[in-house]
Structures are given as C-alpha cells and as structure tokens.
C-alpha cells in the first residue's frame, strides 16, 4: 500500500493568514492526488484533484501543487469557514489511501 504522510498534524492560524499543508507519498504517484476538507459531523468534501485541479465551486484561495511524492495544499487567505481538517488521498493505485489529516485551528 502507498503510505500518505501529512504535516503538520495541526496548525493554528488567524483569519487572513496563508496556510500551507504538505503531503508526502511513500512512492511516486505522479499527480494522482486529491485534497479534501472535513468539518465536524460532516462528510469530507473534495477540494482539489489531480494535484492542482480545483473542484467546481471551491474558492480560488485554495490551490494545490506537486508531483511525484511531494504535494502541497495552500490556502492563500484563511477565512472563518476554512477552519476544518484537511486530508490528502492518493489515486494512483489500489487500495486508495488517505493521510491522517491536518487540523486547521483558530489562533
């Protein structure tokens, strides 16, 4: 199985801050990477797929980059509704695997 390692596990930030979350795959996954946002009591919501393609309806302050084994999710200017947990997921091979999540908390 491909292991997905996210860092940090949590980050404290203020509204307006730029936040960067990283995800590392245990082997080359090209750009077969997705990012999700999850709020308490809700299902995950797809933000980005194929490493950098924004899902319809997702604000442009979210962006993704990377290829191979190293990927980044960036929130350019954190908004109140962005406080949540973020997960990466590889789509290169079965079984699909997820990172352990990064919780974005209010500073």
Partner 1 sequence: QLHLHESGPGLVKPSETLSLICNVSGDSISDTTNYWGWIRQSPGKGLEWIGSISYSGNTYYNPALRSRVTISLDTSKNDFSLKVRSLSAADTAFYYCANGLYNYGYWGQGTLVTVSS
Residues that bind partner 1 (CB under 8 A): 1, 32, 34, 36, 42-46, 49, 55, 87, 89, 91, 94-101
Minimum CB distance to partner 1 smaller for 62 or for 87: 87
* Backbone φ and ψ of 85, nearest 5°: -110, 140
Minimum distance from CB of 16 to partner 1 (Å)? 29
Minimum CB distance to partner 1 smaller for 1 or for 18: 1
Minimum distance from CB of 17 to partner 1 (Å)? 26
What ranges make up the beta strands (E) of the chain?
4-7, 10-13, 19-25, 33-38, 45-49, 53-54, 62-67, 70-75, 85-90, 97-98, 102-106
Minimum distance from CB of 94 to partner 1 (Å)? 5
Q: Do 21 and 86 meet the contact criterion of CB atoms below 8 Å apart?
A: yes
Minimum CB distance to partner 1 smaller for 35 or for 82: 35
């Amino acid at each position: 199985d491909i292991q997905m390692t996210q860092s940090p596990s949590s980050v404290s930030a203020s509204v307006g801050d730029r936040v960067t979350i990283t995800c590392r795959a245990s082997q080359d996954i090209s750009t077969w990477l997705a990012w999700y946002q999850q709020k308490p009591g809700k299902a995950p919501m797809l933000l980005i797929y194929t490493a950098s393609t924004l899902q319809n309806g997702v604000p442009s302050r979210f962006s993704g980059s990377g290829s191979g084994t190293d990927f980044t999710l960036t929130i350019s200017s954190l908004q109140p509704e962005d406080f949540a947990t973020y997960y990466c997921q590889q789509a290169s091979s079965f079984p699909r695997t997820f990172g352990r999540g990064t919780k974005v908390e209010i500073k």
